[in-house]
């Protein structure tokens, strides 16, 4: 799952994956100053994330991590 997360971070498929990564990073790095992203009503989180079952890496992912 970690490899999948890193892969999505480096090569997001779409805007939703970019938003997920940005949200996650800002939550981790949240400092005393408030984040514009986290305070924006445009990105209110309305559902919980259900962790998917692990799946084998695709050939593209294997190639990416090996090179």
Global pTM value: 0.37
Q: At a CB cut-off of 8 Å and minimum separation 6, what does 37 contact?
A: 22, 23, 26, 43
Q: What is the pLDDT of residues 12-55, one digit of tens each?
A: 888 878 877 777 777 777 655 566 666 677 666 677 778 888 88
Q: Which 8-state DSSP code applies to residue 44?
A: -
Residue 33 phi, psi (nearest 5)? -80, 140
pLDDT at residue number 33:
57
Token reading at 47: 């559902």
Question: What integer pLDDT is reported at residue 44 of this predicted model?
Answer: 66
Contacts of 17 (CB under 8 A, 6+ apart): 8
Q: What is the structure's pLDDT at 6?
A: 79
């Amino acid at each position: 799952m970690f490899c999948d997360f890193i892969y999505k971070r480096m090569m997001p498929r779409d805007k939703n994956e970019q938003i997920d990564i940005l949200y996650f990073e800002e939550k981790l790095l949240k400092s005393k100053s408030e984040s514009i992203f986290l305070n924006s009503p445009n990105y209110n989180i309305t559902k919980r994330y259900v962790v998917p079952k692990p799946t084998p890496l695709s050939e593209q992912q294997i190639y990416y991590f090996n090179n």
